[in-house]
Amino acid sequence: MSESAVLSADQGAIRTITVNRPDKLNALNAATLDALLGAFDAAAADPAVRAVVLTGAGPKAFVAGADIAEMAGLRPAEARDFSLRGQRLMRRIETLSKPVLAKMNGFALGGGLELAMACHLRIAADTAKVGQPEINLGLIPGFGGTQRLLRLAGRAATLELCLLGAPIDATRAQQLGIVNRVVPAAELDAEADKLATQLANAAPLALRGILDAINVGGECAIEEGLHYETAQFGLMFSTDDMREGTQAFLERRKPAFAGR
């Protein structure tokens, strides 16, 4: 039996989900998209998981793109279904109630960049390359790239990356707001672990409230977003975590959040 295309492993409250097709540079075929969706559903349902790290197997790629060999034979209706399958996954990640950190250890191109952009935070090795090269195949991004890149990097950068199809390095990606942090490749694992641990130790209900408020605010008028933020703010005052956090601050100690 061949090894699974998606692996999940827990270290404390952190679940690492790994796209495990290093011989294909972790390219996303339909089966891998489905396996990733299942992995994120499982992470969402597990109360022991407080943060998720998403990465790719091997030294070269986070995810180098969608699987071109599989895409090449698709008919138009099948291609639309493939796009919808990818977009379902990206939206599942984006709306997950637990923070997801993309650990970009190499190429994040096409569907790989779309996958990373669906995550809440992105940390990249300084050797990583990102881009939307679909134009070079006579295609356009199909997993949400035109929309999420627009929201992260703005119109000018989105047009450049999508129309020219050339990859950019991690430093420029950070300058454009696509990547949150860039670190030397040798330090990527340690820095990602540090960030994931910080997220896992934070108040889970407050994390969920922040993610929900930002997701709502990104899709509506500011008045509606502000109303939702106020509702979430008030709701936090019904939680044990809020009482623990404020008491720990007054007592000058680290809080121990329980997610209640």
Alpha carbon distance 233, 50 (integer Å): 20
The half-sphere exposure of 35 on its side-chain side, counting CA atoms within 13 A, is 18
Q: Which of 3, 78, 114, 251 is catalytic?
A: 114
Alpha carbon distance 244, 255 (integer Å): 6
Q: Angle at CA 152, nearest 5°, toward 146 and 156?
A: 65
Give, rounded to a whole angstrom, the gap between the first and last alpha carbons of the chain. 42
Question: In this structure, what token pair is assigned to residue 138?
Answer: 């006579």
Q: Is 134 a catalytic residue?
A: yes
With tokens 């679909």, the residue in question is 134
DSSP code of residue 63: E
With tokens 């108040």, the residue in question is 203
Q: Which of 134, 191, 219, 251 is catalytic?
A: 134
With tokens 């420029």, the residue in question is 172
Q: Is 187 a catalytic residue?
A: no
Report yes or no: 172 and 124 within 8 Å, Cβ to Cβ.
no
Alpha carbon distance 62, 107 (integer Å): 6
Alpha carbon distance 220, 101 (integer Å): 25
Alpha carbon distance 16, 206 (integer Å): 22
Three-class SS state of 136: helix
Q: Where are the alpha helices (DSSP H) in 21-143?
A: 30-45, 68-71, 76-94, 111-118
Q: Which residues are catalytic?
A: 114, 134
